[in-house]
């Protein structure tokens, strides 16, 4: 059995749903520069830092020769976002993938080093400056859909991507073929028109950006445009035909956590107020930090008129976070307008 086959077998044994190999050739950069020049990154300045490192594996691992791309699926049919109530993106109801993926990739690297002593590798998830989606497409893991997420037949798009860059010459897999065809379901369904062209998302219009990456104040023009989302947005994936038959993930860490899955506003608020990190341990929700999470929940409450809502908001009037207090005052004024009408 070839080393490539042993790598694939080990990756599947470690729980990855798909694996592919491609050469560590630099990626053509015009698409990235065009995206940045258009301002689609909003105020995510980390996207602007060292763009060349994102497209050249040798900048991360000198002597890089191959990129092993993997997919770790998180779809749980036993979890459905509530019909009413604050919504949290499905990827965040279980353990943070930034913990799950590197653990498995490091074990895959250890296996390779047993086979090839002296081999070097670099583990990358999206916290590192890599173009995960392009590596996945090149390695045959999946194609980049019109919503800009990677899709794979039989798997859909409910999966995370990671890479293991190695200094070994490995045989390449065939790149993935696009199967989106003429479908525009994701573009048509995006509630804020964030998919401004095929495979181009403008973060300035994206609910996921506003509820996850945005720090500080959310402009008033956007406060009533977040639908029921308080962390992320899954609309473009929910309407994708390739996700209709997505299998259930076997990754135990991605099992829905009861507090998050129930998504009851009073429980979420109490948990965040008491001890945010302890209430949501090893959770992707930590990306927003305590203040951002309560800010988002406040904006959801602003659209739920009634005495119960007011009582919940009044608990935050004297919150220690000035940004939370600012949004609470706005939310109370919005509720007052509803009462007047």
**Any idea which residues carry the catalytic annotation?**
126
> For residue 13, how many C-alpha atoms fall within 13 Å in the half-sphere facing its CB?
9
Residue 206 tokens, joined: 């994206």
Separation in Å, CA 316 to CA 86, 194, 211, 270:
17, 31, 19, 10
The two tokens of residue 156 are 């859909």
Centroid of chain to Cα 64: 27
Other Cβ atoms less than 10 A from the Cβ of 204: the count is 17
CA distance 95 to 314: 31
d(CA 95, CA 78): 16
Q: Are strands 195-197 and 121-124 parallel, antiparallel or unpaired?
A: unpaired
Nearest residue to 309 (alpha-carbon basis) of 319, 321, 295, 299: 299
């Amino acid at each position: 059995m070839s080393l490539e086959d042993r790598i694939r077998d080990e990756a599947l044994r470690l729980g990855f749903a798909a694996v592919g190999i491609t050469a560590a050739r630099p990626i053509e950069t015009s698409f990235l520069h065009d995206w940045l020049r258009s301002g689609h990154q909003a105020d995510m300045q980390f996207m602007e830092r060292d763009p060349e490192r994102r497209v050249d594996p040798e900048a991360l691992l000198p002597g890089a020769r191959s990129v092993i791309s993997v997919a770790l699926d998180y779809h749980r049919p036993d979890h459905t976002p509530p019909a009413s109530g604050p919504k949290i993106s499905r990827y965040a109801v279980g353990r943070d993938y930034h913990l799950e993926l590197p653990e498995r990739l490091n074990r895959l690297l250890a296996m390779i080093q047993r086979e090839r002593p002296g081999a070097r590798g670099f583990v990358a998830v999206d916290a590192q400056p890599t173009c995960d989606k392009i590596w996945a497409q090149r390695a045959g893991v999946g194609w980049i859909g019109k919503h800009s997420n990677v899709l794979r037949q039989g798997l859909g798009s409910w999966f995370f991507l990671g890479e293991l860059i190695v200094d070994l010459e490995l045989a390449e897999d065939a790149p993935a073929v696009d199967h989106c065809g003429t479908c525009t379901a994701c573009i048509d369904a995006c509630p804020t028109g964030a998919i401004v062209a095929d495979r181009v998302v403008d973060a300035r219009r994206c609910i996921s950006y506003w509820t996850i990456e945005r720090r500080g104040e959310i402009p008033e023009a956007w406060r009533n445009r977040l639908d029921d989302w308080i962390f992320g947005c899954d609309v473009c994936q929910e309407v994708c035909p390739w996700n209709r038959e997505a299998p259930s993930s076997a990754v135990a860490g991605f099992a829905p956590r009861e507090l998050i899955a129930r998504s009851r506003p009073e429980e979420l608020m109490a948990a965040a107020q008491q001890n945010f990190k302890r209430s949501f341990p090893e959770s992707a929700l930590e990306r927003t930090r305590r203040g951002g999470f309560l800010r988002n929940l406040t904006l959801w409450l602003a659209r739920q008129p009634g005495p119960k809502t007011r009582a919940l908001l009044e608990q935050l009037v004297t919150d220690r976070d000035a940004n939370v207090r600012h949004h609470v005052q706005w939310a109370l004024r919005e509720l007052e307008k509803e009462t007047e009408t």
